[in-house]
Amino acid sequence: MFTGLIEATGTVLSLTPSAGATRIVVSAPKLASRLKTGDSISVSGVCLTALDITHTQFAADLAAETIARTTLSKLRPGSVVNLELPTPSGSPLGGHVVQGHVDGTATLLGIDPIHPDARETTDWRMRFALSSELTKYVVMQGSITVEGISLTVASVLGDVVSIAVIPHTYAVTSLHTLAPGSLLNIEVDVLGKYAEKKEAAGHFELTESYLLANGY
């Protein structure tokens, strides 16, 4: 499990399609030395298995489902990705419950400074278009994962979701590298999906005992 608090950014070194899985290689000098073969790592919100690790980089294989559902196969050498290692059991949950299981992609409409004359210290407003299949799980002031980042929803108007981004998040993640039209990996709050399933089966109450029984 992840929390959506990005530990470092990495840079895509290569993306190599094959008859089987597509191999991605990521430069990650701040995190690679902490990995061992088979470890999970979140790459821009996608849970991958680290392989061929050195002190400065790692590789991972992208399955067909990952290619179909996420943006990773569309990255190019030089693309910046957000990285997070799994949260150890018992650690504080700083963001929210993030599985690294991307639900789909959204299209960035804009990410604009609130105070254009103070770009180093301003907060930012990010807007993206999301399918109705996913917007039903998005609520104002609720949590959402965008490119692996745990963020809080500011508003939902039709299929347009707005997010308030603080200066620190904008500066230390891949967000400052994105332009309108970029595709974003989106993972909605899994608790909303559990609630929908339980409500379909009958009365459901999101109690503390339910959360504990399901590992939250």
Q: Which residues are catalytic?
A: 2, 40, 47, 49, 63, 101, 152
Task: Say if residues 113 and 124 touch (Cβ distance below 8 Å).
Answer: yes
Q: CA-CA distance, 124 to 127, in Å (whole number)?
A: 10
Please provide the DSSP assignment of the chain as one string.
-B-S---EEEEEEEEE--SSPEEEEEE-TTTGGG--TT-EEEETTEEEE-BS--SSEEEEEE-HHHHHHSSGGG--TT-EEEEEPPPPTTS---S--B-S---EEEEEEEEEESSTT-TTT--EEEEEE--HHHHTT--TT-EEEETTEEEEEEEEETTEEEEEE-HHHHHHSGGGG--TT-EEEEEE-HHHHHHHHHHHHS-----HHHHHHTT-
Q: CA-CA distance, 171 to 192, in Å (whole number)?
A: 30
